[in-house]
């Protein structure tokens, strides 16, 4: 399913704020203030913390998306941390603004859709982490890329995240991810096609890696 989008008109009267790259907007575990955010421009990363203290990337959000909305649904503590990955413009939504929005049936449906979408994304992360090795977890991530659903071909052309981002997604060190990626390149699972990070992915070879 596609990720539902909102627009700034949904939150008329709510104040707009600017945040700098690297700012932590929400801390996991902190008592929830009755505030959520709508992204006008820029992007944020939503992360949780593993038992060993490392951070795990759940998903990235951009313009037209919300975060922090669970505070209006009875959640007493923040369930994840949110960081600005670039300078961003946000709309700050308080409880009064939210309740006004929820009187609109179309807005209510988008809220339901976004909760379902986030559940699916989080479940995919959990499924990846359930795999026994970094290699298998990375295979599951690559096989789950949305570009496969848009093409019947065995090979797709995509731009992958950096090794550091991939390591965060599958909960390993950057060094370990670099070693696994070298193995993928040497095995023909991934083929570089440009200097801008674009690669070719082979579905058949990914399946071989997963079952091998």
CATH code of domain 134-211: 1.10.10.10
Query: What pLDDT, on the 0 to 100 scale, is given for residue 90?
Result: 97
Whose tokens are 């859709």? That residue is 113
Could you state, in order of their start, the residue ranges of all structural domains in the chain?
8-129, 134-211
pTM: 0.62
Binning the chain into helix, strand and coil, the percentages to the nearest 5 are: 40, 25, 35
CA distance 157 to 82: 30
Query: What pLDDT, on the 0 to 100 scale, is given for residue 212?
Result: 56
Task: Quote the tokens at residue 57.
Answer: 């990337």
Local confidence pLDDT in tens for the 212 residues of the chain: 456 688 888 898 899 999 999 999 998 888 778 899 999 999 999 988 765 566 778 888 999 999 998 888 877 788 889 999 999 999 999 999 999 998 888 898 888 888 878 877 777 776 666 666 888 888 888 888 888 877 778 889 998 888 998 988 888 888 989 999 998 998 888 998 876 778 999 888 888 777 65
Query: What pLDDT, on the 0 to 100 scale, is given for residue 153?
Result: 81
Query: What pLDDT, on the 0 to 100 scale, is given for residue 130?
Result: 66
Q: Domain 8-129's class?
A: mainly beta
Do 145 and 203 meet the contact criterion of CB atoms below 8 Å apart? no
Cα 65 to the chain's mean position, in Å?
A: 11
């Amino acid at each position: 399913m596609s990720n539902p989008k909102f627009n700034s008109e949904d939150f008329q009267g709510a104040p707009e704020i600017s945040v700098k790259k690297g700012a932590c907007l929400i801390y996991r575990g902190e008592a929830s203030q009755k505030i959520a955010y709508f992204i006008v421009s820029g992007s944020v990363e939503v992360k949780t913390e593993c038992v060993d203290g490392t951070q795990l990337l759940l998903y990235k959000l951009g313009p037209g998306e919300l975060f922090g909305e669970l505070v209006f649904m009875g959640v007493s503590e923040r369930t994840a941390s949110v960081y600005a990955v670039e300078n961003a413009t946000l709309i700050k939504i308080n409880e009064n603004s939210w309740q006004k929005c929820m009187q609109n049936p179309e807005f209510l449906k988008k809220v339901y859709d976004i909760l379902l979408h986030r559940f699916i994304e989080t479940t995919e992360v959990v499924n990846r982490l359930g795999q026994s090795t970094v290699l298998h977890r990375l295979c599951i991530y690559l096989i789950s890329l949305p570009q496969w659903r848009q093409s019947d071909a065995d090979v797709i052309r995509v731009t992958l995240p950096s090794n550091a981002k991939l390591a965060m997604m599958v909960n390993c060190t950057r060094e370990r991810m670099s070693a696994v990626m070298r193995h993928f390149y040497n095995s023909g699972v991934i083929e570089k096609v440009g200097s801008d990070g674009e690669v070719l992915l082979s579905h058949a070879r990914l399946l071989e890696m997963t079952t091998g």
